[in-house]
């Protein structure tokens, strides 16, 4: 190749080491392509193991692990129901799983030789598509096909409904906004985590001199990881709130939050 090649700074992970160490083994090169999936599955395995250990012997007086998991689940349920109202409890498993999964993927980049999969757009876009599909499914289930189309057209009534122009215009605008949501969700999360990982990689390149800055930046990365997880799941909850109504509580409460 001719010209200058530039590569973005990246923290070394176990897959990078394996590929470089055994570069003569052809099939190992595919590990680099699938590294985000591999690290995502690693987080799934860890979380599944913790969930199994915490729930296999449930006790009235919980131990430390069971107590910590119950505290986390209770907090997530309060968070979801605080936005959606009592009807939102059935969506706690989905939103709660998103929260825990994204949080641990964000933080995994701080573990030596592990990469944060959410620094890749393919991972965050997949998560956002799951949100998009489930929200649309919930819309049809809660409102019915007719109600869903009415929702997309802005719930026109009276003259506006019969004009034809306003409903079509609102349908087009609303459909575009529904499609943009997963893209904005995925890009927001990916860009922040990718920026954090790149910052840590740059500081790590300074060697011993960069250790104080690296430690300070690690604290900021932890805070940013939590904030980005909360933002992703809060927006997801709000998307549900625009569909679900509990005697007007959810919609009104959501408007106040926004």
Please choose, from the candidates 236, 240, 241, the residue with its C-alpha nearest in 3D space to the C-alpha of residue 256.
241
In this prediction, residue 162 carries a pLDDT of 60
pTM of the model: 0.85
CA 211 – CA 246 distance, rounded (Å): 52
- 112: tokens are 């030596």
In this prediction, residue 206 carries a pLDDT of 84
Please choose, from the candidates 240, 111, 223, 132, the residue with its C-alpha nearest in 3D space to the C-alpha of residue 183.
132
Helix (H, G, I), strand (E, B) or coil at 7: coil
Neighbours of 156 (CB within 10 A): 17
In this prediction, residue 47 carries a pLDDT of 94
**pLDDT, tens digit only, all 258 positions of the chain:** 444 444 567 788 898 888 888 878 777 778 888 899 999 999 999 999 999 998 888 777 778 888 899 899 999 999 999 988 888 889 999 999 999 999 999 999 999 899 999 999 999 999 999 999 999 999 888 888 888 887 777 766 665 666 667 777 777 888 888 888 889 999 999 999 999 888 888 888 887 888 888 899 999 999 999 999 999 999 999 989 888 754 444 444 444 444
In this prediction, residue 257 carries a pLDDT of 47
In this prediction, residue 252 carries a pLDDT of 45
Neighbours of 128 (CB within 10 A): 24
In this prediction, residue 124 carries a pLDDT of 95
In this prediction, residue 97 carries a pLDDT of 94
210 alpha carbon, distance to own chain's centre: 30
In this prediction, residue 72 carries a pLDDT of 92
Is the separation of the CB atoms in 29 and 51 below 8 Å? no
Q: CA 230, 235, 240 angle in degrees (round to 5)?
A: 125
């Amino acid at each position: 190749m001719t010209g200058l090649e530039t590569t973005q700074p990246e923290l070394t992970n176990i897959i990078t080491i394996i590929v470089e160490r055994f570069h003569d083994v052809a099939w190992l090169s595919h590990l680099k392509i699938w590294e985000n999936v591999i690290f995502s599955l690693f987080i799934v395995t860890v979380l599944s193991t913790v969930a199994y250990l915490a729930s296999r012997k449930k006790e009235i007086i919980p131990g430390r692990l069971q107590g910590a998991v119950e505290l986390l689940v209770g907090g997530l349920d309060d968070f979801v129901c605080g936005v959606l109202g009592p009807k939102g409890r059935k969506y706690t498993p989905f939103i709660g799983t998103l929260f825990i999964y994204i949080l641990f993927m964000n933080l995994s980049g701080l573990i030596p030789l592990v990469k944060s999969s959410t620094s890749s757009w393919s991972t965050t876009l997949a998560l956002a598509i799951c949100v998009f599909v489930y929200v649309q499914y919930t819309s049809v289930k809660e409102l019915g096909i007719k109600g869903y189309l009415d929702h997309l057209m802005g719930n026109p009534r009276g003259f506006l409904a019969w004009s034809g122009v306003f409903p079509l215009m609102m349908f087009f605008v609303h459909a575009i906004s529904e499609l943009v949501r997963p893209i904005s969700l995925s890009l927001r999360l990916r860009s922040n985590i990718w920026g954090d990982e790149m910052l840590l990689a740059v500081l790590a390149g300074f060697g011993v001199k960069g250790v104080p800055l690296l430690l300070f930046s690690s604290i900021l990365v932890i805070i940013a990881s939590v904030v980005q997880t909360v933002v992703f799941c809060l927006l997801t909850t709000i998307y549900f709130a625009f569909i679900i109504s509990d005697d007007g509580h959810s919609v009104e409460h959501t408007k106040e939050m926004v």
